[in-house]
Structure 1
Amino acid sequence: MLNPMSVMVLLDAEFRRLVLWVPVLLALGALAYFLWPYEPGLLGGVGVPAGVVGLCLGACFYWRQSLVARLAGGAGMALAVGFGAAWCAAHRQPPMPELPRRGTEISGIVRDVAFFPAPTGQGEPVRRVTLAQVVLHDFVDDGMAPLRRTLAIRLVQNDSALLAPGDGVRVRTMLQPPPFPALPGGRDRQFEAWFSGQAGSGYALEPVQVEPGAQGRVSGFWQGVATVRGRVNARVRAVLPGPSGAVVATLLDGRAEAVPQDVREDFAASGLAHLLAVAGLHLGLVMGAAMLVCRMALAAWEYAALRWPCKALSAFVAWGVGGGYVLLTGAHLPAVRSWLMASVVVLGLMVGRRAVSMRGLALAATLMLLVAPQVVLDVAFQMSMAAVMALVAGYELLQPRLTRGLSGLTGARHGLARHGVMLVLTSLLAGTATLPVVMAHFGVVQPFFVLANLLAVPLMGVWVMPLGLAALVAMPLHAEAPFLYLMDAGVRVVLWLARSVAAWPGASMEVPAMPGWGLAGVLLGLCWLCLWRWRLRWWGMPVVLCATLSPWLVSRPDLLISPDGQLMGVRDHTAILVMGHARDERAIKAAWAQALAIPVTGFSTTAEQAVETPDGSLICGEGDAGGTCTLLRNKHEVVLRVHDPSDGRSLLPPDLCAQADLVVSVAPLRESCPDVAVRLDRFSAWRVGAQAVFLASGVRVVSDRQTRGERLWVLKPGGHGMPTLPLAQAE
């Protein structure tokens, strides 16, 4: 049992590690803002945190002789700063505009052009353009100011227009705002769009028209970067047109859209999906290759080798090459975050400090959380921080044992054994630390990820990425083809490895959705395990294990209703029985299947005779009311109206509602079943979004709006945003 004195002794012994908890507390403060049930005003978002910071500073000064007071004050300040930074980041974003729901002609400036495989898998790839400074040309929005957010438009497949960043275009499109979550607690694309600056998406109804005189005022620097990225992609695809060429292009310019779906699935099932997402691994390989080449070149020059700090210079050159690679691959947040961490590492090398340390990781995480607090909910941020933290802590603990264990070997055997053990240890530590995060965000577990990474990562490091770097250097001379062919040979081996491992039995196992408290428990337990050095660090292990098992510790919904109320899914023993039709039906079904870890199957409701499940719990088509089903579960009766041509004007029979505890309809219920306690219809879905129904002890309904609250990024019912008002007329 710990007493106050022993706690003080332990804290004093860990004094140098206390600073490592600053980013953890910043993240908790930001998380508190994002999970707040309503939007705080200026007083709650800035005034209160500023007051808390002032009080904590005063307490730290007044009780400066007390370690506990200083720790409590510092923790309070970090939490308040995290909350305030998140509020400021959210309120810096422009409002979400109201988009027309009809065919509309728009004009804008091309910011980026991406390629996707054809929907049928054959033919020319489909292009998607990201447009900035968009103007809607219809009678409602006439004279409007250009949108402050971007639109992603999928062009028609046979569109032959040559587009480059900075071009002005005009096209007739169908637009839609970011979709609502498919189920309460599901992926929030509106949150992602709010912080990414996107207004929505759409598809072209006709070929795009290029407006020669409408060059946009997109930043010249970023326009140049986008142009270079497009040229690199085109050069790679011209030499390597197949699936392996799409992977090569992804590694060199960061655009993974053209990678075929079957290749993506193989990489995901084998635990190699991180190879398709340019982030820390790719940046480390590029910087490592650049540093090695630079240091060898300096060592071969006698004057430099004797007089210059070759190691520091090589690290600085590698840092610059890494920054260029981050820009070339799109400056995505995971890559930028990794480059910030690499900057700390390079700075440490240049001043003679240890390259990779917990303090460097804490500094990089703190900078990211202050600049972009929304990364606390980003899967890439969570995975990279968990992996690097586990690697640093693991090597801190195991390095002495590893040195003692290999002390009996000499020469080449020692080097080979050391590199082999470190490779296995790196894959095991990083993979195990990120496993619960993968479970939470993707709903899968890949048991063979260690074996797949043991073979794929070294191949990427010694063959694929160095040749890719050489190809980029040779592109200005139009001499990249030999390097691309050699790079393609290595990529084909990785593709074969991913396909082979994905075909093994049990290579990818689905798991139910992890609750938010489970993911928080995993990450906090991992921080406790890695950031301390004293024995009580091991208290984090049972926390991580229990949180990892949380998907099986919570109840799962018995009935799911789509955001538009047109699709219903009944959870059966082995599948989700889906009835009705919705606009985003495919995406909604995929989200439901991932959340419940069981497949989705259609359930006929239009047969002339009654249809029921084997256990008789769901019966459709019984009685005189057409398009209705009855669900019996846990002594509760639920009436489902999944088809109603009358739009609610044909009332449900009173005898069908007599014993019902809940009635759900794809159409307005109007006067149907007025005495039923819980009534859900199209209008309720319009107001509150997707709904999940639990039938364990009573009828409990959880809605999307109840889960997310009234926040800046949560669109109004029906997906409506702020009207695009016309500019005032000049006098």
Structure 2
Amino acid sequence: MAGRGRGSDRGEDAVAGVSERSLFATRPAIPLPSPTSLVPAPGTRQPQADIPAPSPPPAAGRIARVRRQFGLTSLPRLRHGVAKAAELELDRGIAFLLVPVCLAAGVIGYYSLAAEPDFAKPVAVVVLTALCALASRSWPKTHLCFTAMLLCALGLLAAKVETWRAGTRMLGSEISTEVTGRVVSLDRMETGRIRLTIDVTSTARPKLRYAPERVRLSARKIPRELAAGSLISGYAKLLPPTGPVRPDSYDFSFDSYFAGIGGSGFFLGNPRIVTAEDDMPLLARLSAAVENARQSIAGRITGIVGGAEGEIAAALIVGVRAGIPDEINEAMRRTGIYHIISISGLHMALVAGTVMGLLRGAFALFPDFSARRPVKKYAAAAALFSIAAYLVISGIVVAAERSFIMLAVMLIAVLFDRAALTMRNLAISAIAVILVSPHEVVGPSFQMSFAATAALVGAYAGWADYRARKTRPPSPKLSLPGLLTQKFLLTTGGLAMTSIIAGSATAPFAIWHFQRVSPLSLFANLAVMPIVSVVMFLAVASALLMPFGLDVPSLYLMGKGLTAMIAISAWISERSPVDAVGLISQQSVLLVTVALVIATMATTWLRLAALPFALAGLLTVSDTRTPDVLISEDARLVAVPIGGGELAVSRARPNEFTVDNWKRALVSESIVVPEVFNKTDGQFTIADAVNLPPGAPFYCTDGVCLARHPSGAIVAHVEDRKDTWKACGFADVIVVNDATGYDACHNPLVLVVTKRQLARKGSAAVFFDRQSATGPPIVSFAVDRPYRPWHEQRKFSREARGLPPYKKPDNTSAPVPAQ
């Protein structure tokens, strides 16, 4: 049998060898036919194969040499390779991974529209693309294109449905009224004030005809017995939702619209509890019970731990983070570890991992039971239940909701014996989030979390494939110190690579939304993450032991760990360079996003297609222009960069949040407040404005504040419209903080921005002509018209209608003249 097998093998080799060798074997020379023999005899047919091909003309030879010289002969081979790789990608399921990408593209397209479409247009587009996709099933490539278009149209329709479903009533103008409503939630701020979210039931003195359904108000003091579900009343000043603090920045009215918040403000006195006349609905009663439980747990945690550590512990366990001091928040932002505070994927993963680890360790104590039962599935089910409870007790914020969906998909995959950490599961969670909350697609939380997760999953999959292909010799036995050293190095390297990959993937979005990066985030995360892992383990233990009153030791240790984390964050923050990086172009963010999608989803050599997009994104980072003047939407604040990292502002006490955003956008380190001169001083007059040196801060006198841009242009800020004419002769930009103001200069070279314009169009950015010193300035506003639903309230304010501020009528009536 052995000899027969060998002979059979040799026979098969011989057959195969004959076919190969016969192709390259040296054959005897065959005499060439004579020219006369090529002419067929009369009545005979010459086979086509025996006719030799005519020699190519000289021009064709030159073309062939040129094609070989420039490598053009490889183009068909390249097209064939691309087609094969694309077919392999489709076989591996990349089409499903691109479903959330197409949905997100449709959502972004909806929010980028210049005007609000009616329902008929998105529905018509969906129906038309669906019919085209059905009709093109016989042509695979065309069918894929129409399917992608259908998904984009579905994303646009989902965003339209969510906008219609939200329908938030937005307050149109500032007003003081008596508000009566039911408390939804309350947060104790670090400043000592209490912020209340209230469902409005009625208003009085005056009664609002278009009252918002939910408002957010702050109070100095509240009744001790006040809790979620209480019906309260108090006189409050209501303010409409604000827009972007500058063009192309985050729109707070957009966020308020989809959060259902129609206005904000503060109580002018202390609110009081009133007796409820009707019973609460069941859903509201459940929500109030959960909120009261959160507040009770947060109070216990802060009472045991105390200080800033207690506030952070409460934020980690129940999501209550309003009481964290501002300096600690800023230190964690500068070091890139603020993601630890916001309950998101990190916390959900640590909770799920801790519960699974504890349960599997407990099951290991019973080997007979573990051998007969799927204990891994039991642990995954318990972990799923634990993160669901964690989601509810943390307040069901958007970031936690998204993270729960992602982890729930992975844990359910474990229950059905599927791989947990895959790009497909990430795509499923992204689809769920996009369909439930489409507006989150344009927010920083969605973009940064999914970018980081996709980059980590893609890098992990690539590394796993590399290790699977590489043959490694068996590792030698190590001593205990060597083994511990190896584990430490591997853990440290894994944390470092995780931080680098996630930080690189989220950096473009962080710069686009916040104009800041954390240059020392790698070191901060390496130093803090081991502590955070222990802290989260203690947090889970505290939550389990709290019902029995045995949580004091774990909370005490948790506080000590948070003390170390705060100290490390503060130490690194003091040594961190300035993190403001200024503005980047929108094209750069889009190109980098395309590169990230290709690099994380492709599994063949087609992922190299991400390189040109990434390179183009890097080259267009600075393809944007920094504003020369920024104006707030209430016309009360004007800022001019004057060089040397300084930002000149027109008010002595500017809005801190607005100025902080402007400083990061204009890469300024400090602000310069104006100098005010009285008429009697005689030190500075309006006539002296023409003598101001370039880069001079604001000088205020005679109702006008003047500053000079480094380019030489003069910026004026006027409080009263009657003083506008004073600056017409020499100012290039005049901002009038008066709703009744108008362009009193009538000069096309002088830009006059009025309070009414800003009330209608939002904050503004002014750009001076770089080509000509005498060219007119160009202004860009934050809000375009026609208004979208989250901007409709802008046209109802007194300022937008050109009316002066409301003043109460004088009670003393004038005497009626005698007839």
Same fold (TM over 0.5): yes
Alpha-carbon distance in structure 1 between the residues aligned to 2:510 and 2:521:
12
RMSD (Å) for aligned C-alpha atoms: 2.8
- Map Cα deviations across residues 132-168 of structure 1 (whole Å, 9 max, x no partner): 1442122333xx69743x2111111x44432211111
Counterpart CA distance in 1 for 2:545 and 2:651 is: 53
- The reply on whether 1:352 has 2:422 as its aligned counterpart is no
Aligned pairs (5 A) from 1:52-451:
52-59=129-136, 61=137, 64=138, 66-98=139-171, 101-118=174-191, 125-141=192-208, 147-148=212-213, 150-156=214-220, 158-214=221-277, 216-217=280-281, 219-401=284-466, 408=475, 410=477, 412=483, 415-451=487-523
Q: CA deviation at 1:258?
A: 0.7
Q: Which moved more, 1:402-411 or 1:553-562?
A: 402-411
- Partner residue, 1:514: 584
Structure showing greater radius of gyration is 2
Give the equivalent residue in structure 2 for 1:21: 98
Say if 2:245 and 2:658, in contact at 8 Å, map to a contact too: yes
Cα–Cα, structure 1 residues 613 and 90, in superposed 2: closer, same or farther, change >3 Å?
A: farther
Retained in 1: the 8 A contact 2:507–2:517? yes
Taking the aligned partners of 2:319 and 2:153, their CA distance within structure 1 comes to 36
1:43 and 2:120 aligned: yes
User: In the alignment, does 2:775 pair up with 1:702?
Assistant: no
- For 1:580, the equivalent position in structure 2 comes to 650
Map of 1:486-635 to 2, 5 A cutoff? 486-506=557-577, 508-548=578-618, 550-575=620-645, 577-581=647-651, 585-604=655-674, 606-607=676-677, 608-609=683-684, 610=688, 615-616=693-694, 618=696, 627-629=704-706, 631=708
TM normalised by structure 1 equals 0.89
- Change in Cα spacing, 1:79 to 1:340, as seen in structure 2 (3 Å) is same
TM-score, L = length of structure 2: 0.80
Letter in 2 for 1:152: R
2:537 corresponds to 1:466: yes
- Does 2:747 match 1:675? yes
Work out the CA distance in 2 between the residues paired with 1:417 and 1:648: 68
Aligned twin of 2:36:
none
* Structure 2 SS opposite 1:78: helix
Aligned residues of 2:159 and 2:438 also touching (Cα < 8 A): yes
Contact 2:406 / 2:426 at 8 angstroms: preserved in 1? yes
What is residue 67 of structure 2 aligned with on the other side?
none
Alpha carbons 2:648, 2:698 under 8 Å: kept: no
How far 1:415 sits from its partner (Å)?
Answer: 4.7
- Given that 2:176 and 2:238 are in contact with CA atoms closer than 8 Å, whether structure 1 keeps it comes out as yes
Q: Could you tell me which runs of 5 or more consecutive residues in structure 1 were left unpaired when the two chains were aligned.
A: 119-124, 722-731
> Equivalent residue of 1:503, what SS?
helix
Distance in 2 of aligned mates of 1:568 and 1:36: 30
Q: In 2, distance between residues paired with 1:385 and 1:409?
A: 39
Task: Name the CA distance, whole Å, in 2 between partners of 1:205 and 1:173.
Answer: 5
Distance of aligned partners of 1:190 and 1:600 in 2 relative to their CA distance in 1, 3 Å threshold: farther
Please state whether the residue corresponding to 2:765 is helix, strand or coil. strand
* More divergent stretch after superposition (174-183 vs 598-607): 598-607
In structure 2, the partner of 1:729 is: none
Q: After TM superposition, give the deviation of residue 182 of structure 1 in Å.
A: 1.2
Kindly provide the amino acid, as one letter, of the partner of residue 154 in structure 2. V
Higher RCO structure, 1 or 2 (CA under 8 Å, sep 6+): 1
Provide closer, same or farther for how the CA distance between residues 620 and 179 of structure 1 changes in structure 2, counting only shifts above 3 A.
closer
CA contact (8 A) 1:467 1:484 kept: yes
Partner of 2:28: none
Structure 1: distance between partners of 2:291 and 2:797? 32
CA 563–330 in structure 1, closer or farther in 2 if over 3 Å, else same: same
Per-residue deviation, residues 587-617 of structure 1 (Å, max 9, x unmatched): 2212211222213523535333247998535
Give deviations 1:612-639, integer Å, cap 9, x for gaps.
Answer: 99853558669x976153646658x55x
How far apart are the structure 2 equivalents of 1:168 and 1:39? 37
Residues 38, 710 of structure 1: 8 Å contact kept: yes
Q: Closer, same or farther in 2 for the Cα pair 1:145/1:592, shift >3 Å?
A: closer
The change in CA–CA distance for 1:626 and 1:483 in structure 2 (over 3 A counts) is closer
Contact 2:633 2:758 in 1 (8 A): yes
CA distance in 2: counterparts of 1:632 and 1:447, whole angstroms = 31
Could you say which residue in structure 2 is the equivalent of 1:122?
A: none
Q: Give yes or no for contact 1:605–1:611 (8 Å, CA) kept in 2.
A: no
Q: CA deviation at 1:222?
A: 1.9
Alpha-carbon offset, residue 669 of structure 1:
4.7
Identity in percent: 24
Kindly provide the CA deviation profile for residues 103-141 of structure 1, in whole angstroms up to 9, marking residues without a partner as x. Answer: 3111111111111112xxxxxx32111111442122333
